[in-house]
Amino acid sequence: MTAFCCPVCGNELFKTPGGSACRNGHSFDAARSGYFNLLLSSSAHAHGDDKAMLRSRRAFLEKGYYRPLLEALCRILEEKLPQESALLDAGCGEGYYTAGIASYLKEKGKAVNVLGIDIAKAAVDMTAKRMPQGKFAVASVYKIPLADNACDAVLSVFSPNAAAEYRRVLKPGGVLLRVYPLKNHLYSLKKAVYETPTRNEEKGEIGAGFSEESVWEIKNKIFLSSAEEIGNLFAMTPYFHKTSEKDREKLLALSALETEAEFGVSLCRKV
Ligand SMILES: [Zn+2]
């Protein structure tokens, strides 16, 4: 059996020589790196982050600039997860947080079944390659290929807040750990590029059927000392594709930049 459910009929998916199939004969390919492609063609237009963006993100994250956030997530999950548990990283990206959390929890002696999904095939491929022991699928956070009540925790780092679907896959009493940018996150980076930079919006609604138990704010300053690093950070932000050539040139002319890295972490329990 695989960890996942058939995205067509919801039945368990069993391993087959080429991938996986359910008892109704719906079958899905597995990639060489071990993940399953469970995205139905009707949602295939939403391809998620492209490869160049993912490479920039990996290069940036591997330098440890967002390590304080990773460490906070590790500590929170260590405290909140039962000894044997299942954790879904919903929108796992290239796997920086997924892999960091999995190895931390293992070191602490917790038996955590780590699962991850992302709509971007290239992202899931990168995650599966760095974590051969994990269970990953290309899928939408709005249609998660897991059974009801399958997880003890869902992690959502800058992913869409698909609260109803997160709630469905969580066990009663399970927790949703959501990371969102605070108002000033990357403000100095935006100020360096735009005439009229805007602050981020606040975290938005807590989904129905959740009660917020704790909120943390993780605030740091990061110092980027080369045009390449500044470019990598900018390329992984949502502003990248909305920026004019002229503003992009302004950014590329910078050789050093200090900016805010400010995250909110909200822990909501399924009620
Ligand atoms: Zn099926």
Domain ranges of the chain: 31-270
Cα 137 to ligand 1 centre (Å): 15
Q: Identify the DSSP state of 146.
A: S
Report the C-alpha gap between 208 and 205 in whole angstroms.
Answer: 9
- Residue-level pLDDT at 46: 53
Cα–chain center distance at 121: 13
**pLDDT tens, 156-208?**
999 999 999 999 999 999 999 999 999 999 999 999 888 888 898 877 788 89
Cα 81 to ligand 1 centre (Å): 31
Higher confidence at residue 14 or residue 1? 14
**pLDDT tens, 9-27?**
999 999 999 899 999 999 9
Nearest to 231 by CA among 68, 57, 14, 80: 57
Cα 19 to ligand 1 centre (Å): 13
pLDDT(226) > 80: yes
Cα 147 to ligand 1 centre (Å): 13
Higher confidence at residue 134 or residue 61? 61
- Residue-level pLDDT at 136: 97
Q: Are 20 and 51 in contact (CB under 8 A)?
A: no
- Residue-level pLDDT at 62: 95
pTM of the model: 0.93
Cα 80 to ligand 1 centre (Å): 33
- Residue-level pLDDT at 48: 61
**pLDDT tens, 47-87?**
566 888 899 999 999 999 999 999 999 999 999 999 999 99
- Residue-level pLDDT at 253: 87
- Residue-level pLDDT at 151: 97
Mean of the per-residue pLDDT values of the chain = 92
Cα 25 to ligand 1 centre (Å): 6
- What is the average per-residue pLDDT within 88-100? 97
Cα 153 to ligand 1 centre (Å): 25
- What is the average per-residue pLDDT within 18-47? 84
- Structurally, at CATH architecture level, domain 31-270 sits in 3-Layer(aba) Sandwich (3.40)
Q: Are 70 and 172 in contact (CB under 8 A)?
A: no
Tokens 């390919």 belong to: 29
- What whole-number percentage of the chain has pLDDT above 90? 72
48: left (phi over 0), alpha (psi -120 to 50) or beta: left
Q: For the chain, how long is the longest CA-to-CA vector? A: 58
- What is the average per-residue pLDDT within 215-222? 97
Report the C-alpha gap between 125 and 54 in whole angstroms.
Answer: 11
Q: How many CB atoms lie within 10 A of CB 212?
A: 13
What are φ and ψ of residue 112, in 5° steps? -110, 125
Report the C-alpha gap between 116 and 139 in whole angstroms.
Answer: 9
- Strand-by-strand arrangement of the 19-21 sheet: 14-16, 19-21, 27-29
Report the C-alpha gap between 189 and 7 in whole angstroms.
Answer: 40
- What is the average per-residue pLDDT within 91-98? 96
